[in-house]
Amino acid sequence: MSKYDYLIVGGGLYGSTFAYKARQNGKKCLVIDRRTHLGGNIYCEKVEDINVHKYGAHIFHTSDKKIWDFVNSIVEFNRYTNSPVANYKGRLYNLPFNMNTFYQMWGVTTPELALSKIEEQKFEAVTWMKNKGIAVPRNLEEQALALIGRDMYETLVKGYTEKQWGRKCTELPAFIIRRIPVRFTFDNNYFNDPYQGIPKGGYNKLIDGLLFDIETKVNTDFLINRDYFKSIAETIVYTGPIDEYYDYCFGKLEYRTVSFENEVLECSNYQGNAVINYTEREVPYTRVIEHKHFEMFGSDIDKCPKTVITREYSTEWKEGLEPYYPLNDERNTLLYKKYKELAENENDIIFGGRLAEYKYYDMAPIIKAVFNYWK
């Protein structure tokens, strides 16, 4: 008989939540991870008594009260509200696009004036396309111009998007930006979800709670010794790259990746906000994260005399780097379908999570996917 009901490959949010639900159902699990730590990309490092999001900023948000109540049953979440700011050539704009943004852009003070300005610029863009014989936007640039007009596009979308994807907007497919949220209220809350926040004490507390009393091993690579690991468990839960599992037999899936440049500063408050996007193409990084603002508010900010910032650089993925964002273009979509067909023929393995399913996942949908399995 196998020693474990489930061998879970990857101790990120999907694997940890799966282990938690399996244990609730009386199953015995082993969670392994080839990194030196558990938690996957939500892992935090303590620097100067500040929880630094090692693999990029993560803000939990959901409209599902069941999911919100679940994570808060593991660790209490704070009241952090994501309100990013855009910096374009030294001028600051609130995000998402709202009345504050429109006032900063054009000086308009009412929804009627803002809507009129946007419609005017959208009309100019659509008229230009019609004169060129373009019935449907052919690329991201044309799509964005038809949605929000030239001022908003060139100031807040173009440079950031080209840095993020490493390609000109005219070379990116239109579907990437089919809709752009536009609000005619003075509301800087980025998410529409009613529930959002950060675990008090950082995401490691969430992972520790999910994996409480469950056997785990780090520095352990499933693929190096897969025959052994398959022999000790009834079912494998695999959260790594699906193409790597199949030894890239059809070729490698493509991703964008992110590199991080951390700096400890001798001040209590560097930029006054957790997230500032740099939308100018000539600035090499996409955004600067100041981590203390995720968990410290008001006078608590000054009680910590130092701060930690992270500059994020978007780059093309290559072997040895962490894969972050799937390139869901036609080539990669067709390639993933081939791997998915192989996976669907497996009887004793579950593929789950962003790498195994080759899709971008927010945190709440990951938990929901695990819940759906254990219905």
What digits encode the pLDDT tens for the residues 329-365? Answer: 889 999 999 999 999 999 999 999 999 999 999 999 9
Phi-psi map region of 149: left, alpha, beta (phi>0 left; psi -120 to 50 alpha): left
User: What per-residue confidence (pLDDT) applies to 181?
Assistant: 86
Q: Look up 287 and say whether it is catalytic.
A: yes
Pick the closest to residue 289 from 304, 271, 266, 267 (CA basis): 271
Q: What are phi and psi of 265, to 5 degrees?
A: -115, 145
Rounded to 5 degrees, what are φ and ψ at 53? -75, 100
Q: What is the pLDDT of residue 1?
A: 67
Mean pLDDT of the 233-262 span: 97
Model confidence band, residue 327 (pLDDT cutoffs 50, 70, 90): confident
pLDDT digits (tens, 9 = 90+) for 114-124: 999 999 999 99
β-strand partners of 265: 307
**CA 1 to mean position of chain CA atoms:** 40
Spot the catalytic one: 312, 336, 339, 357. 312
For residues 139-151, average pLDDT:
96
Q: What is the mean pLDDT of residues 46-59?
A: 97
First to last CA, the chain: 26
Instruction: State yes or no: pLDDT of 158 exceeds 80.
Output: yes
Choice among 14, 88, 93, 256 that is catalytic: 256
Q: Which of 79, 179, 247, 266 is catalytic?
A: 179
Catalytic residue check, 138: no
Which of the residues 183, 203, 290, 295 is marked catalytic?
183
* Region label for 39, one of left (φ > 0), alpha (ψ between -120 and 50) or beta (otherwise): left
Q: 306 pLDDT band (50/70/90 cuts)?
A: very high
For residue 156, is pLDDT > 80? yes
Q: What is the mean pLDDT of residues 314-333?
A: 89
pLDDT band of 328, cuts 50, 70, 90: confident
| Domains of the chain as residue ranges with CATH | 4-82+194-254+326-373 (3.40.50.720), 98-177 (no CATH)
pLDDT at residue 261 is higher than 90:
yes
Q: In sequence order, what are the residues at sequence separation of 6 or more whose Cβ sits closer than 8 angstroms to the Cβ of residue 212? A: none
Residues 162 and 169: beta-carbon distance below 8 Å: yes
Is 311 an active-site residue? Answer: no
User: Among this protein's residues, is 360 annotated catalytic?
Assistant: yes
pLDDT score, position 173: 87
Pairing of strands 255-265, 307-316: antiparallel
- pLDDT above 90: residue 2: no
Q: Is the pLDDT of residue 319 over 80?
A: yes
The pTM of the full predicted model, rounded to 2 decimals, is 0.94
Q: Is 226 a catalytic residue?
A: no
Q: Among residues 5, 45, 64, 362, which one is catalytic?
A: 362
Pick the closest to residue 57 from 351, 234, 308 (CA basis): 308
Q: Which of 80, 88, 203, 287 is catalytic?
A: 287
Told to judge if 331 belongs to the known catalytic residues of this protein, a careful annotator would answer no
C-alpha to C-alpha distances, 241 to 5, 9, 279, 322, 323, nearest whole angstrom: 22, 11, 31, 10, 9
| More confidently predicted of 197 and 316 | 197
Residue located via tokens 């959208």:
122
Strand partners of residue 255? 326
Q: Report residue 184's pLDDT band, with 50, 70 and 90 as the boundaries.
A: very high
Q: What is the mean predicted confidence (pLDDT) over 177-196?
A: 93
Report the pLDDT value the prediction gives residue 175, as an integer from 0 to 100. Answer: 87
Strands (E), the chain: 4-9, 29-32, 44-47, 50-53, 60-62, 85-88, 91-94, 195-197, 215-217, 233-238, 255-265, 275-278, 287-290, 307-316, 325-326, 349-351
Active site residue 256: yes
